[in-house]
Structures are given as structure tokens and as C-alpha cells.
A and B are shown apart, each in its own frame.
Chain A
Amino acid sequence: MTQRGEDNPAGPVGPVRRTDVLPEQTQTRQRNQSNPVDRVSESSTSENESSSAQDTELKYGAEAVINLFIPVTACMIFVIASVQCLSSYSGQQKQTVSFIYTPFHPADDDSAGTIIWQTVANSLIMISVIAVMTFVLVLLYKYECNMLLGGWLIFSTMTLIFMFGYFYLQQILKVNNAALDWVTLGIVMWNFGIVGIICIHWKGPLFLQQCYLIISAALMALIFIKMLPNWTTWLILAFLSIWDLIAVLCPYGPLNMLLQLANDREDELFPALIYSSGAGIAVPTVMVTTSAGTFLAPLLGMAETSDPSPQEEVQVRQPRSQRSSERTRTDERREGVKLGLGDFIFYSVLVGKASQLHDWNITLACILSILVGLSTTLIILAFFKKPLPALPISLTLGLIFYFTTTYVIAPFMDLCIMKQVFL
């Protein structure tokens, strides 16, 4: 034995172990064979249930975060790239056209008091318009004016994709000084728009639908960045996060009522107003949404959603999802988390506006703070399992970091570099 040990240290261990273990193994095997079904199945199901319950919560958390990070980051990158490359969005040109909802345009040389009251007035007007239109949307949904609602939404999607897409294409041509003929332009815009509407409002590949939603959110964000006066943008973002909190969490908030109505009717809630990372199953318990998507509506008479008529697939899936014990792996995989389109828009507005300063420190700080806010919201969602507003935490963090970085950190870093504190 010892010799074997010297030659092969594992030698004595192996056989010794095997001889020790074998009787026990046979004993356990005999015991298992005697009550194979009961014992094994009990232990396995209890293990499975506890582990699958844990797994579901954990898996849902990590996967959902990643599934939302990618589109949010993609939208932000698109907006930042456009702001950097296309001069029309970079805030250097004097804005002659503006929204009718922001009638006051403080000039740079006005006194601080003038700027402040004009900014506050602009923001209050904008927020009240949003609030009114959200209530109108909820009322239309409540009294089932489906034709009006559907028509309004399709009209708004069309305006968004065609008009803003055409404007974006013009900017690209202008920057590259490239010629394009009417034939090609017409065909490209027609195709882009019609396939977009088909994918968003009817049926299409999920990936393409997600891409179109991201593109329309980015185009909307670019228009905001272009049209809103500087300080108004920041104040609107601040007011919006407060409004979002009220609208989703308060009992009489419009979005709360909307979600309750949709829940009661067991209806799919505006699939085109909401980005879904999964295959479009409406599981309201895991939905994170925001009022801001509906806010698109008032701006240019537009909003994005599809007709809220109940669809067969959803009604079949809804009762299934409520019986969680019968949840299969495929259902878990396809339960995506949903994020309202307005969230994409306002995250991108914040980041795009920050990138207008052409300082990457500020832009990166804002991107990271928004992503951290989003993951925090998702963690809270995993605990509370009811629809939550996605704007407040992210926008608060984003605004804090924007102003801190711009006025404190960036000058500090510049000074450190100038004084060569870090070599």
C-alpha cells in the first residue's frame, strides 16, 4: 500500500475510497429502489421548486437587466452619434422654429431672473400639456373609442417615422454633401416608413420591431434636443420624473388607471408604445412603463401604440402565467420585461443634451448614471412585482451627475491635469 502510495499518490486513496464507499452506495441504492418514486420525486420537486423559484427571481433579474441595457444603450449611442456628427442637432445653430408648447425663448444675454421665469413657465406648460393628453388617452381607452385611439396612434407613428426620418436623412446628406435623387429618396422613405408601421402596429419579426421602436424613440429624442431651449430641457426632465412618479404610483394617476383597466380587461397594453424584450407576452406584473410615451401624442398629435383590442394569444397566455406553478422554461424565457418608449426618449434626451458639451467625461457620467438607475429600478421591480415608473431614479441620478460633473468634476480634472497632479 505504501509502495503504491509512493508510486501513485492517488492509488491508495482510490481503491480505499471505493471499498469504503461502495457498501453505502449499494445501501442507498437499495433504499432508493424500494421507494423510488416518492422519495426521489419529492426531494427533486421540492428542490426544483425552491431552486426554480430562486432561479426565476434571480434569472429574471439578470436577464431582464441585460435585455434592457442593450436597447437603451443602443438608443443612447445613436442619439449621441447624431448629436456629434449632425450640426443641426448639436445646439450650435440658433433655433428659429420651436414647439408651440414652449413659447418663451430666453436669449443668452437675458438676466438670470428672466431666464428663470421663462424656463419655469415653459416647463409648466409642457408638463400640463403632457398631463392633459395622458388623461385624454386614458379616457379614450376607458370608453373604448378604439377607432379614434388606433387612428390617432397610427397617424402619430406615421408622422414620427416619415417626417422625422426624412429630416434626419436630409441632415445626413447635408453633412456629407452628397446628392440623392427623388426616385431613390422616395423609395427608401416609403419602404422604411411602411415596413416600420407594419412591424410596430401589426406583425413582424421581433428584432425588427425592436429596432424600429428604438429608431423612432431616438428620432423623437433628437427633435426634443433640437427644439427645446437649454434650461427648459433640464427643468422638463426634472418635472417629468416627478410626474412619472405621480402618474404611475398614485391611485388616481392616469397611468395607474390605464394599467388597472388593461389588467381588468386582461388586455395587451399598447404593444407599440412599449418596448418588449420578450416575444410580446403581456404580463403586467413585470411591466415597467412611463407616462412619457403618451406624451408624444400631444406634441405633434402623435403617440405610438397599436390597437388595444384583445388578442387571442394574450388571453390564452394570461391565465397560464397566473398559475406560476405550471410555468415552463419556455414561458420563463419569453417573459420579457417591458419598458415604455417614453423612457427611451427621455434617457436619450438627457444623454444627448449632455453630449452637446462635447466633453466625454460628462456624457459617460450621464450614461452610467442612467444605466445604474435602470438596474436599480429593475431590482425594485423584482421585489414589488407591480408596474413601476422607470424615469425617476435614472433621471434624478442623471441630472445630479450632469450638473456635478459639469460644474465640479470637469473643472477639477482640468485643474489636476494642468497642475500635473497625475503624471
Chain B
Amino acid sequence: MDLSDPKVKNSDKLAICRKFFFGGFAFLPWLWLVNGVWFFREAYFKEPFDEQIRIRKYVMYSIIGATVWIAGLTAWNCVFQMNRASWGATGDVLSAYIPVGIP
């Protein structure tokens, strides 16, 4: 859908932003990121309208949440990739795909 469509009411936008925000709690950082990026222009670069303060809040929290998740995943992946071989059996259990060859 196109947010710049004048038929989309501000209350609808707030409702969608809110649903995306609460949906992101189900282990969905990508949804938070999409929410943040999609509503960013509405929240910060448009003429002030009634619901803008709440949209700003949701956008900010979505972006923060997504950043936290990305940091966590990156850290976990660095740890895993570097130490997978030395973890022996645990490393194999954790791996979804085990590469062939000598690590």
C-alpha cells in the first residue's frame, strides 16, 4: 500500500504502525526494521498531525529493538563461527549445516 495516498487516513497509519510494533515482539526484528523504515518519513519529515507523536514513539522503539536484535545476532554469529570447530559435539548439534573438509 502507498502511504502517500490521500485516502489512507492517519488513524489507519497509526493502527498499522502499532500492529507492526506489537507483532515484532514475536521474535521478528525484521518486522521492526520494516516498520521503522516505512514510517520514518511519516514520523519525522511530515507536517505535524494528531497521531504523529505516537507514530514517532513506535518508530523509535521499533528501530531500537531492531538494532538490539541485530547486535545480538551478530555477536552470537561471530562467537559461533569462530568457535564452532573447537566445541566438538556441541558445535555439531548446534549447526544446521556442517561444512565438509577440515576446519
Q: Which residues of A contact B (CB under 8 A)?
A: 170, 173-174, 177-185, 187, 190-192, 194-195, 198, 203-206, 208, 279-280, 313, 316-317, 330, 334
Contacts and interface: CB of A to CB of B under 8 A. Distances in A.
A195 B34 contact: yes
A183 B2 contact: no
A184 B7 contact: no
A334 B80 contact: no
A169 B81 CA distance: 17
B7 A206 contact: no
A174 B95 CA distance: 13
16 contacts: A170-B97, A174-B97, A178-B97, A179-B99, A180-B97, A182-B94, A184-B76, A187-B29, A190-B28, A191-B28, A195-B30, A198-B23, A203-B1, A205-B34, A313-B7, A317-B7
B55 interface: no
Given A187-B27, A334-B5, A179 B101 contact: no
Contact of A182 (B2, B96, B100): B96
Interface string B1-36: 110011100000000100000010011111100100
Given A178-B99, A179-B95, A195 B28 contact: yes
Contact of A195 (B6, B31, B80): B31
Nearest to A280: B1
A184 B73 CA distance: 7
B77 interface: yes
A contact face: mostly helix, strand, loop, or mixed:
helix
A183 B99 contact: no
Given A190-B27, A194-B31, A280-B2, A179 B84 contact: yes
A177 B31 contact: no
B44 interface: no
A206 B1 contact: yes
B90 to A, nearest CB: 11
Contacts of B5: 279, 334
B7 A316 contact: yes
Interface string B69-103: 00001001100110010000000001111111100
B61 interface: no
A258 to B, nearest CB: 23
B3 to A, nearest CB: 8
A196 B30 CA distance: 10
Nearest to B39: A205
Nearest to A190: B27
Nearest to A199: B34
Given A182-B94, A185-B96, 7 more contacts: A177-B101, A179-B95, A181-B80, A190-B27, A195-B28, A204-B34, A206-B2
Contact of B1 (A177, A179, A187, A279): A279
Contacts of A198: 23, 31
Contacts of B77: 181, 184
A188 B31 CA distance: 11
B76 A191 contact: no
The 5 closest A-B pairs by CB, nearest first: A279-B2, A191-B30, A177-B99, A173-B97, A185-B96
A183 B76 CA distance: 9
Contacts of B81: 179
Interface in B35-54: 37-38
A16 to B, nearest CB: 52
Contacts of B34: 195, 204-205, 208
A317 B31 CA distance: 29
